[in-house]
Amino acid sequence: MRQKGHEYVLIIDFGGQYNQLIARRVRECNVYCEVKSYKNVTIDEIKELSPEGIIFTGGPQSVYGEGAPAIDKELFELGIPVLGICYGSQLMAHTLGGEVKTCITSEYGKTETIYDKDCVLFGADMPEKAISWMSHTDYIAKIPEGFKITAHTANCPCAAMANAEKKLYAVQFHPEVNHTENGLAMLDSFLKNVCGCKGDWTMANYAETAIKEIREKVGDGKVLLALSGGVDSSVLAALLSKAVGSQLTCIFVDHGFMRKNEGDEVEAAFADWDVNFVRVNAKDRFMAKLNGVSDPETKRKLIGEEFIRVFEAEAKKIGAVDFLAQGTIYPDVIESGSGDAATIKSHHNVGGLPDYVDFKDIIEPLRMLFKDETRKLGEELGLSDTLVWRQPFPGPGLAIRIMGEITDEKLTILQDADWIFREEIAKAGLDRSIGQYFAVLTNNRSVGVMGDFRTYDYTLALRAVTTTDFMTADFARIPYEVLEVCSARIVNEVKNINRVVYDVTTKPPATIEWE
């Protein structure tokens, strides 16, 4: 939604793989933007939104393909600056009377590009020759009338074009990708020098507006929040606490599968905040439910159901509430131009709650924020570093990191081993660069020798990945020296583990979690 008095850029998505990245980059330039699928955005809506600028994303199709995404030509007559990227650039050319053809030589990856320094996108301190990131099989063979070619490569005669008078710009390459040198500066120049944005999107502004809006909406009503201790729900709790204070009740269901000491840490983190904090220690209930269960999806389902039951029972004690707060963030709500991605695992989220709890309305104040913005907001609100920088942790917790049946003994082994791994990663200064890192207790036992004794104990797997969106991931290149210390400490300090392995699989084909 466009906020009154604030800048707004519309990103029209044609199904490109970098659609979210473009939005994040625009916001890095302190300009608020939203992504909308080309399928759902009409000219009337655009007129009403009256954005400072429009960006077209890339997309997998050819403008001549059957059912290829198209856009109403009228959009270019509105006087709103437009930047087309990749497919978006070809679509602009095609719609305005230019010609798009299949490349004789497709370009993928880093490509030397020559820029026209007179173009506002490539001016300032940028060099005339630099690397851009290409990924295309079609190219603009003839530019529309009124346009000028503003960049080229060895194989692509039109790597960028512009009609400065009409404020229409197009780039064949991807300025949003890090590999494009000065890509962010190019986007920034489009936003500031073409669209005339000042950059008024800051977390301080956002917090102030969100707090005001929450107060207006909630009035003197009661708000209920399921707090998991994860970044999103913690930031939400902090925001709501600032907005409505003790009208907020946070229910923290501790299912017993948290990491070592984590339940206490979450409780301690909110001790000084103005909220009603209810911690439910429900480990026994969850353990009883999972007794004898080893199938991962059954574990997820049972934990999800039990979570709702425990939460519901607690919520009933509070009585009717007016609002249920949810920590939904922007990547969960972006409507993609290419349709929904397949669900690989049935992720357990509190999204199932509304059917069970008596409330009038849902509030989702983080709905428009990316993960990194949620973190920034957390910092802005004064939340502790431990919570703000907490790595993602799956709802079912360690239950899906213990292969096979869960027992108390296995849970303790995993908590202790995971603790050592996390400690060593932090000591090595890798805790912010690795997206997610954790230990998995396999169901495998193998022979070892300790002192003069033969052992027959568990194999522990260490998993650490680098990722931007958790949809794909690479295994983290942890230095051998760090792995060596982890392995030695774990085998020495944790009973019943005699072998440590490191998972070197990417996602895909593997997933991040083992279950």
Catalytic-residue membership of 197: no
If binding is defined by CB under 6 A, does position 477 make contact with ligand XMP?
Answer: no
Among 7, 34, 52, 176, the active-site one is 176
If binding is defined by CB under 6 A, does position 507 make contact with ligand XMP?
Answer: yes
If binding is defined by CB under 6 A, does position 344 make contact with ligand XMP?
Answer: yes
Which span (106-114, 153-161, 163-171, 504-512) binds ligand XMP, by CB under 6 A? 504-512
> What is the separation, in whole angstroms, between the first and last Cα of the chain?
38
How far, in Å, CA of 411 to CA of 406, rounded?
7
Single residue of 123, 392, 404, 448 touching ligand XMP by CB under 6 A: 392
If binding is defined by CB under 6 A, does position 229 make contact with ligand XMP?
Answer: no
Single residue of 10, 91, 244, 512 touching ligand XMP by CB under 6 A: 512
From the centroid of its chain, how far is CA 87?
24
How far, in Å, CA of 225 to CA of 240, rounded?
9
If binding is defined by CB under 6 A, does position 401 make contact with ligand XMP?
Answer: no
Single residue of 136, 260, 348, 410 touching ligand XMP by CB under 6 A: 348
Which span (150-158, 207-215, 340-348, 484-492) binds ligand XMP, by CB under 6 A? 340-348
Which span (6-14, 101-109, 268-276, 346-354) binds ligand XMP, by CB under 6 A? 346-354
Tokens of 17: 């793989």
Q: What is the dihedral of CA 33, 36, 41, 47, to 10 degrees?
A: 0
Catalytic-residue membership of 119: no
Tokens of 487: 């392995």
Catalytic-residue membership of 176: yes
Phi and psi dihedrals of 175, rounded to 5?
A: -70, -20
Q: Is the dihedral of CA 399, 404, 408, 413 positive or negative?
A: negative
Single residue of 345, 367, 445, 489 touching ligand XMP by CB under 6 A: 345
Single residue of 436, 442, 487, 498 touching ligand XMP by CB under 6 A: 436
How far, in Å, CA of 265 to CA of 478, rounded?
27
Find where tokens 């292969």 sit: 403
Provide, rounded to whole angstroms, the least separation between the CB of residue 274 and ligand XMP: 28
Q: What is the DSSP letter of 396?
A: T
Which span (79-87, 120-128, 187-195, 339-347) binds ligand XMP, by CB under 6 A? 339-347
Residue pair 460/501 in contact (Cβ under 8 Å)? The answer is yes
Which span (127-135, 245-253, 311-319, 392-400) binds ligand XMP, by CB under 6 A? 392-400
For 50-189, where are the alpha helices, taking DSSP H only? 87-95, 183-189
For residue 336, the tally of other CB atoms under 10 A from its CB is 18
If binding is defined by CB under 6 A, does position 472 make contact with ligand XMP?
Answer: no
DSSP 252-301: EEE-S-SPTTHHHHHHHHTTTSSSEEEEEE-HHHHHHHHTT---HHHHHH
Residue pair 93/156 in contact (Cβ under 8 Å)? The answer is no
If binding is defined by CB under 6 A, does position 470 make contact with ligand XMP?
Answer: yes
Site string for ligand XMP, 296-335 (x = CB under 6 A): ----x-----------------------------------
Catalytic residues: 86, 174, 176
Q: Which residues bind ligand XMP (CB under 6 A)?
A: 300, 344-345, 347-349, 392, 394-396, 436, 470, 507, 511-513
